[in-house]
Amino acid sequence: MSAPHELTVAQLGAELQAKRVSAVELAEHFLSRIDQHADLGAFLATDRAATLAQARAADARRAAGGAPLLTGVPLAHKDIFVTRDFPTTAGSRILAGYRSPFDATVVRRLAEGGMVCLGKLSCDEFAMGSANENCAFGPVKNPWDVSRVPGGSSGGSAAAVAAGLVPAATGTDTGGSIRQPASFCGLTGIKPTYGRASRYGMIAFASSLDQAGPMARTAEDCALLLSAMCGPDPDRDATSLDEPAEDFTRTLNDGLDGLRIGLPKEFFAGGLAADVRAAIDAALAELQKLGAQLVEISLPRTELAIPVYYVIAPAEASSNLSRFDGVKFGLRAPQYADLEDMYKKTRSQGFGDEVQRRIMTGTYVLSHGYYDAYYLQAQKIRRMIAGDFQQAFTQCDVIAGPVAPSVAWHLGAHGADPLADYLADIYTLPASLAGLPGMSVPAGFGEGGMPVGLQLIGNYLQEGRLLNVAHRLQQATDFHLRRPEGFL
Ligand code: GLN
Domain encompassing residue 63: 4-253
* Overall average pLDDT of the 263-278 stretch: 96
Percent of the chain with pLDDT over 90: 97
Please report, for the domain that includes residue 222, its CATH number: 3.90.1300.10
Handedness of CA 108, 114, 120, 121 (dihedral sign): negative
CA-derived radius of gyration, the chain: 21
pLDDT for 1: 83
Strand partners, 457: 399, 438
Query: In this structure, is residue 134 part of a structural domain?
Result: yes
Query: In this structure, is residue 96 part of a structural domain?
Result: yes
Query: In this structure, is residue 72 part of a structural domain?
Result: yes
| Residue 416 scores a pLDDT above 80 | no
Q: Would you say the CB of residue 4 lies under 6 angstroms from ligand 1?
A: no
Percent of the chain with pLDDT over 70: 100
| Residue 4 scores a pLDDT above 90 | yes
Count Cβ atoms within 10 A of the Cβ of residue 379 and give its class: 0-12 exposed, 13-18 middle, 19 or more buried.
middle
153 tagged catalytic = yes
Residue nearest atom 5 of ligand 1, based on CA coordinates? 175
Provide the Cα torsion 97, 100, 104, 107; round to 10°.
Answer: 70
What is the whole-number distance in angstroms between the Cα of residue 65 and the centre of ligand 1?
A: 42
pTM of the entire structure? 0.98
| Residue 307 scores a pLDDT above 80 | yes
pLDDT for 339: 97
Local confidence band at 290 (pLDDT 50, 70, 90 cut-offs): very high
pLDDT for 97: 86
The Cα 294–Cα 363 span in angstroms is 43
| Among 22, 92, 130, 153, the one annotated catalytic | 153
Query: What does DSSP assign to residue 267?
Result: G
* Number of domains, the chain: 1
Contact predicate 158/216, CB 8 Å: no
Q: Would you say the CB of residue 173 lies under 6 angstroms from ligand 1?
A: yes
Question: 462-485, pLDDT tens digit by residue?
Answer: 999 999 999 999 999 999 999 999
Q: Would you say the CB of residue 74 lies under 6 angstroms from ligand 1?
A: no
Closest CA to 428 of 395, 393, 465, 385: 385
pLDDT for 22: 98
Local confidence band at 415 (pLDDT 50, 70, 90 cut-offs): confident
pLDDT for 245: 87
Query: In this structure, is residue 447 part of a structural domain?
Result: no
Ligand 1 atom, smallest distance to 174 CA: 8
Query: In this structure, is residue 244 part of a structural domain?
Result: yes
pLDDT for 281: 98
* Overall average pLDDT of the 348-375 stretch: 97
pLDDT for 295: 98
* Distance (Å) of CA 432 to CA 41, 79, 132, 207, 210: 28, 21, 19, 12, 8
| Residue 436 scores a pLDDT above 80 | yes
Query: In this structure, is residue 48 part of a structural domain?
Result: yes
Query: In this structure, is residue 407 part of a structural domain?
Result: no
The Cα 26–Cα 5 span in angstroms is 9
pLDDT for 162: 98
Question: 373-397, pLDDT tens digit by residue?
Answer: 999 999 999 999 999 999 999 999 9
pLDDT for 475: 98
| Residue 259 scores a pLDDT above 90 | yes
| Among 177, 227, 318, 406, the one annotated catalytic | 177
Amino acid, single-letter form, for residue 81:
F
Question: 19-56, pLDDT tens digit by residue?
Answer: 999 999 999 999 999 999 999 999 999 999 999 999 99
Query: In this structure, is residue 416 part of a structural domain?
Result: no
CB atoms inside a 10 Å sphere around CB 360: 12
pLDDT for 110: 98
Instruction: Please state, rounded to an integer, the average pLDDT across all residues of the chain.
Output: 97
100 tagged catalytic = no
| Residue 270 scores a pLDDT above 90 | no
Closest CA to 151 of 191, 122, 185, 127: 185
| Among 22, 78, 141, 406, the one annotated catalytic | 78
Best residue among 153, 190, 356 to mutate for probing ligand 1's pocket (most ligand atoms within 8 Å of CB) is: 153
pLDDT for 140: 98
Closest CA to 186 of 427, 405, 409, 442: 442
